[in-house]
Amino acid sequence: MTTNFLPTNNSFIISCEECGLVVSVSKLEEGQKAHCPRCDHTLTKKIGHPKQKTLAYALTCLIMLFLSLSFPFMSFSFQGLTQEITLLNAVNMLEQYQNSLLALLLLTTVIILPTIYMSLVLYLYVAASKKQTGSKRIIFLCKLLFKIKPWLMVDVFLLGVLVSLIKISSLADVSLGPSFFTFCLYAVLVVKCVSLVDRSWLWEQFIPIQQFKKKYQGETQHANDHLSCHVCHQINPISEETIPICIRCHSSLRYFDMNKNLQQVWALLLTAIIFYIPANVYPIMYTVSLGSTEPSTIIEGVILLWQLGSYPIATVIFIASVFIPLVKILALCWLLITAKKVRNLPDKNAIQKLKVYRVTEFIGRWSMIDVFVVAILVALIQLKSLMAIYPGPGALSFAIVVIFTMLAAMRFDSRMLWRDPKYT
């Protein structure tokens, strides 16, 4: 159900983070969502029993993670030799073979950050239940919670594990340990828990949004009389301060500066483009079999899977590791090049571009699948000269490509796609 946007005595104003339109939103009933009338972006939502549901999911996530780390994850058998691993073994193996950055990436995105996120959810929702006010500690923890969210890759890692199983099963026997099944539950619960956390609702529990006599609804960032906080969505009147501060969460506010934003995104994107070349040219892993070493690039891995008859997995790897990064880079380049032409575009073109941007932002993290596949294979297949897999330099370069394309998409200000109303 979608609410209307007529100003009422029981409403608040919020600026759409994707198109910049300031909207007056009525207080929501359970199960309702408020959408931007200009670009259809979800502004806020009201979840039934948000405290109890979210607390239950967050606590269960932590329990499942503890169980996933406590027991064997999977084992690999080849010609009478067996190798068994836990989740932490994958991190240790990458560290052992001088890939500390990949080890840190795996440890951070799959274990450390999800643990911090769920712990923060527990603390903040308990604090909200006790009706605590927005102290400096609460404000800091709320900010940290939403900064962590984009970097949770538990679901991506699970898909990487499933792809690894297909690859390994063609080589030898694979057995799944208890931790594999608890990790599957953990991944599903993390996705569900994250979907229950609403930024607007959580901030409202500690610091209610402030209203003003001036009616900002209908305005955009081009009005130059207000700044929208990208952290808590509070509308802030323009002040004379050199660095304006949000009156609600005390975050530094950013003026809408198209040229500056374009330069920042181009810098991040060009870095990704530079590393995209070695990521595809250098081997992503080395396979040792009966004393001979065979390097494998991303494309060679896809071709091998295709030749082995694993067509669905070869397709998944090709889409995630070759097609998506390239398309994301090209899409961001196109959005950046056309951003300055918005003044001459009708709104329907802005909506089309915004859809491209939304897809680009969503799919970027899934390119990390191949990096996680390498991590699992390196940890599991270590039978010395008989059979072993080692990470190649292409794995780190590819991880850098994924990270910088994600940063570029997050830094891209989609409000640039919407023209100034005075040119309408």
The per-residue pLDDT for range 401-415, each reduced to its tens digit, is 999 999 998 888 888
Contact, 299 vs 284, CB < 8 A?
A: no
- Look at residue 35 in the predicted model and tell me its pLDDT: 85
Digit-coded pLDDT (tens) for 233-281? 888 887 666 678 888 888 888 787 788 888 999 999 999 999 999 988 8
> CA-to-CA distance for 253 and 230, rounded, in angstroms?
8
Closest to 226 (Cα-Cα) out of 212, 205, 207, 209: 212
Average pLDDT over residues 101-105: 82
Residue listed under structure tokens 């990390």? 368
What is the pTM (predicted TM-score) of this model?
A: 0.85
Q: Burial letters for 10-42: b for 16+ Cβ neighbours within 10 Å, e otherwise? A: ebbbbbbbbbbbbbbbbebeeebebbbebbebe
- Look at residue 55 in the predicted model and tell me its pLDDT: 92
Eight-class DSSP state of 416: G
- Look at residue 97 in the predicted model and tell me its pLDDT: 66
Closest to 110 (Cα-Cα) out of 162, 58, 69, 147: 69
Number of H helices, E strands in the chain: 15, 12
Closest to 167 (Cα-Cα) out of 376, 318, 396: 376
The mean pLDDT value of the chain amounts to 81
Could you tell me whether strands 22-26 and 33-35 are parallel, antiparallel, or unpaired per DSSP bridges? Answer: unpaired
Hey, what are 78's tokens? Answer: 């080849």
**64 pLDDT tier (thresholds 50, 70, 90):** very high
Instruction: Measure the CA dihedral 291/384/285/402, to 10°.
Output: 180
Contact, 174 vs 206, CB < 8 A?
A: no
> CA-to-CA distance for 146 and 194, rounded, in angstroms?
10
Contact, 21 vs 36, CB < 8 A?
A: yes
Digit-coded pLDDT (tens) for 15-37? 888 888 888 887 777 777 888 88
- Look at residue 343 in the predicted model and tell me its pLDDT: 54
Residue 20 phi, psi dihedral angles, 5° rounding: 85, -5
> CA-to-CA distance for 226 and 228, rounded, in angstroms?
7
Contact, 11 vs 212, CB < 8 A?
A: no
Maximum mean pLDDT: which of 186-195, 220-229, 319-328: 186-195
Cβ partners under 8 Å of residue 216, min gap 6: 13, 22, 223, 225, 226, 235
Exposed, middle or buried, 289 (CB in 10 Å: 0-12/13-18/19+)?
middle
- Look at residue 6 in the predicted model and tell me its pLDDT: 39
pLDDT for residue 209 is more than 80: yes
